Amino acid sequence: MPPVGVLALQGDWQTHMNVIESLGAQARPVRTTNDLASVRALVIPGGESSAMLRLMEPEGLLDRLRERIAGGMAVLGTCAGVILLAETVEPEQPSLGALSVAVVRNAYGRQLQSTVADIEVVPELGPPARSEGIFIRAPRITRAGPKVRILARWQGDPVLVCQGRVVGATYHPELGADRRVHEFFLGLGKEDHG
């Protein structure tokens, strides 16, 4: 079975690779369009979304990623990854438009306002009903379209969402002990699409 890719241009991509491998799947860093062609699913990690966009540009990676997602490839975006997946971003910047949400960058505050919070998780992900959410300069989802399922909330805001085979978390599930987000994503990415 082809490996699961982790976009390895910027941010803490290695931690996602470690989590994926701890769950029994093979993980591979993705830096080029050839790397992207060799994976069945992709994680877009946290980091700085505008820096990732700049680093994707020379390789044409954003356009190829857009094609793979449109073709059905499963993708998980965490923190900055949600910004790249969103339909609408404030302040305005390019994005993949793969997830029918509007996000505001750094909406919960700058680095000093980063926090660990108790988030509410839907029963679909299994027990327990709460999980640890690690928010670091996190974006806020301010609108979710009708096809978007909300899988977790914090203070009433959606913080984990899914639309088809696209999953977005405004926090960093890879930094906590709860592996349900990655397990859910790996379930969506069992078959290669796109």
In angstroms, the CA 101 to CA 140 distance is 10
Catalytic residue list contains 79: yes
Q: What does residue 64 show for φ and ψ, rounded to 5 degrees?
A: -65, -35
Check 79, 87, 162, 182 and give the catalytic one.
Answer: 79
Reference 43, options 180, 167, 179; nearest CA is 167
Catalytic residue list contains 172: yes
Reference 162, options 105, 95, 85, 96; nearest CA is 85
Helical (H) or strand (E) element with 159: strand 157-163
Check 16, 87, 172, 182 and give the catalytic one.
Answer: 172
User: Which value, to the nearest 10 degrees, does the dihedral of the CA atoms of residues 141, 145, 147, 150 take?
Assistant: 30
- Ramachandran quadrant class, 87 (left: phi over 0; alpha: psi -120 to 50; beta: rest): alpha
Residue 65, token pair as written in the block = 């990623």
Check 16, 87, 162, 174 and give the catalytic one.
Answer: 174
Helical (H) or strand (E) element with 54: helix 49-56
Task: Indicate which residues carry an active-site annotation.
Answer: 79, 172, 174
